[in-house]
Amino acid sequence: MAEQQVAYNEDNIKSLDWKEHIRLRPGMYIGKLGDGSATDDGIYVLVKEVIDNCIDEYVMGHGKTIEIKVTEHRVEIRDYGRGIPLGKVVDCVSKINTGGKYDSQAFQKSVGLNGVGTKAVNALSKYFKVQSYRDKQTKVAEFAKGELIEESKIISSSGRNGTLVVFEPDGEMFKNFHFIPEYLHEMIWNYVFLNAGLTLIFNGTKYYSEHGLLDLLTKKTDPESLRYPIIHLRGNDIEVSITHNNQYGEEYYSFVNGQYTTQGGTHLAAFREAYVKTIREFYGKNFEATDIRASVVAAVSVRVMEPVFESQTKTKLGSQTIGPDGPTMRTFVNDFVKKALDDYLHKHSDVAEALQKRILQSERERKDIAGIKKLANERAKKANLHNKKLRDCRIHFDDKKGDRREESVIFITEGDSASGSITKSRDVQTQAVFSLRGKPLNSFGLSKKIVYENEEFNLLQHALNIEDGLENLRYRKIIVATDADVDGMHIRLLLLTFFLQFFPDLVRQGHVFILETPLFRVRNKKETIYCYSDMERQEAINKLGSKPEITRFKGLGEISPDEFGAFIGESIKLEPIILSKETSIQSLLTFYMGKNTPQRQGFIIDNLKIEKDLVKEEIAEVVEV
């Protein structure tokens, strides 16, 4: 059969205006859309793009206060900078390649030089308003999905110079979206840490930092867990703070021109290399790099001319130099760290001694588990992981590539029935399933040996591919999928204990979630409503009336694969596990998994989304570890 010929002529050539292109290809401008359950979802990028403009004004010496108000679906941001020139208010938010950032004299070290950010916010909002106050005059423009709906004339005003932006993300683009306050809280703290002296007022609360990255690490760490006081180093266009604690893994916070680069980049790679090199030279010993960086907590901030990021969302720096005529990023960071850190350690012998003790401890721990690790890895291969424990997906997480890799997830379930339901209804392209055998061990207070000695933990570690760090993590989201009962809650706690104890970066970097599944199905002949709480069940009964059929789902295995497909597809509901700056992992684990059974009982009772008439003896039985 001859192949069908596809016409290719003038009718196939289409031109899209700016807003149509942004709405058709939002990933090019803000990364993934999402619903707000992850820190890098699009609605937070929209907020960030507007704040970035305010920060650029502050960096240029205009406006020391930014006011931010966020409700469930609406954002208002007001700065007190110079204000957009009134004759260009509409152009600056609706014409691509229009903006002050193209004038290198006006914005020397801006977060972005693309002239796209605010336009993307406009195009992806069902309502967008911009108002500029400048020299006792003001002008307002309002848009809907990027389309200008009202433009005022320039009129007199008593308002202080600056810009007000109000927007409501478009629910057609961001399905079922909601802002999570903790994510905004983290974002705003990062802004003030990187801009000492700037005040941000978020929903009435004042955020301010006087000592920059020193304040950041002070908030991020528990003073009792630190091996030595925080080292704080400042130079021209670079700032660093460093310490060590008792947790596993490496913890970094990297920034470029005030932008939080969650995926690091050339500046962080240069810092990690320079830190190891400086330590080796200072002590005159060729320590293993992993021993030097084990349990390190550090923050690094650089300011560069015309930064190049690997994506529009600016989460990973790609710049190889600090400016058109400057040194390489590697040379710039290495020269600073080598001199500043070496000088500091020579002046503070007590810190140098404590740091060396921490490195030697890491070296002993590494050697101690070397033999166990080798045997455990051999067992993992013999266990035929991918057939017995893991139903893998075809696409895996890769932060260097696009398409659907960002969607890759793994569900961790307990029991054959739950695993079977998810396996039959999942998207085999992006969704994997790992089956637990019984309840995990309570790993609280145990050393990392247990990760290799315990078969379940070792196989889970291999499935995620995190033995040597998160660089090779195979899934963007790790979803704990347990029943909504006492046993299910306990399994959640045990899994979270494992992650927090040995792989805390999985939680810090927003990879761990809890799957929310419906507790009730309420239906009549015309309509079916799935309910996630008793309140929703009552609302559904009132809506459907005349004695609808009510089904209580007691376990994931009771939900048919056909129904389950909806709950892990577009309508999936995920509860992110969030660690705030004030959270000490050690204190958290001590409370939930230590010798405090009554408190843990209370937590489980208060957080179960099921009937409250559970027998207390049943709860006591499962929480007693």
Q: What secondary structure does DSSP assign to 153-189, as a single string?
A: PPEE--SPSEEEEEEEE-TTTSTT----HHHHHHHHH
Q: Tokens for 250, please give them.
A: 């490496």
The angle that helices 597-607 and 616-623 make with each other, rounded to 10 degrees, is 120
Q: According to the model, what pLDDT value does residue 5 have? A: 57
Give the pLDDT band (50/70/90) at residue 603.
low
CB-side neighbour CA atoms (13 Å) of 65: 9
Q: What is the pLDDT of residues 81-130, one digit of tens each?
A: 999 999 888 988 887 755 544 444 444 555 543 457 889 999 999 999 99
Q: For domain 214-363, say whether CATH 3.30.230.10 is its number.
A: yes
Q: Which residues contact 580 (CB under 8 A, 6 or more apart)?
A: 182, 185, 186
Return the CA Rg of the chain: 27
pLDDT band at 615 (very low <50, low <70, confident <90, very high): very low
Q: How far apart are alpha carbons 307 and 314 in whole angstroms?
A: 9
Residue 21: pLDDT above 70?
A: yes
* Residues 61-74: b if buried by 16+ CB within 10 A, e if exposed: ebbebbbbebeebe
Supply angle C-alpha 497, 188, 312, rounded to 5: 90
| 18-208: in CATH 3.40.718.10 | no
What is residue 185's predicted lDDT score, i.e. its pLDDT? 92
In this structure, the chain runs to a length of 625
Span 120-162, pLDDT tens digits: 999 999 999 999 999 999 999 999 999 999 999 999 999 999 9
Predicted local confidence at residue 540, as pLDDT: 93
pLDDT at 403 over 50: yes
Give the per-residue pLDDT at 242.
Answer: 96
Interatomic CA distance for residues 198 and 218, integer angstroms: 18
Decide which of 560 and 380 is more confident.
560
- Please tell me which residue, 57 or 325, carries the higher pLDDT value: 57
Rounded Cα distance between 412 and 460, Å, is 9
pLDDT at 522: 93
Determine which of 141-150, 352-361, 507-516 has the lowest per-residue pLDDT on average.
507-516
Q: Closest Cα partner for 439 from 375, 492, 475?
A: 492
- Name the more confident of 588 and 571: 571
Rounded average pLDDT over 541-553? 89
Provide the 3-class DSSP secondary structure of residue 515.
Answer: strand
Higher pLDDT, 348 or 402: 348
In single-letter form, the type of residue at position 555 comes to: G
Phi then psi dihedrals of residue 272, to 5 deg: -60, -40
* Mean pLDDT score across all residues of the chain: 83
Whether pLDDT at 80 is above 50: yes
So what's the pLDDT on residue 25?
Answer: 84
Mean pLDDT within 528-553: 89
Position 342 pLDDT exceeds 70:
yes
Alpha carbons 185 and 377: distance in angstroms, whole number: 41
Residue 447's pLDDT is 84
- Judged against a pLDDT cut of 60, whether residue 565 lies above it is answered with yes
pLDDT tens digits, 414-437? 877 778 888 888 999 999 999 988
Rounded Cα distance, 455 and 462, in Å: 11
Provide the pLDDT for residue 10.
53
The domain ranges of the chain are 18-208, 214-363, 383-517+553-577
Q: What pLDDT is recorded for position 310?
A: 75
Q: What is this structure's pTM?
A: 0.76
Is 139:154 a contact under the CB 8 Å cutoff? yes
Tokens of 485: 């009962």
Among 183-192, 313-322, 402-411, which is the least confidently predicted range?
Answer: 313-322
Query: For the residues 176-192, what does the mean pLDDT come to?
Result: 91
> What's the CATH architecture for 383-517+553-577?
3-Layer(aba) Sandwich (3.40)
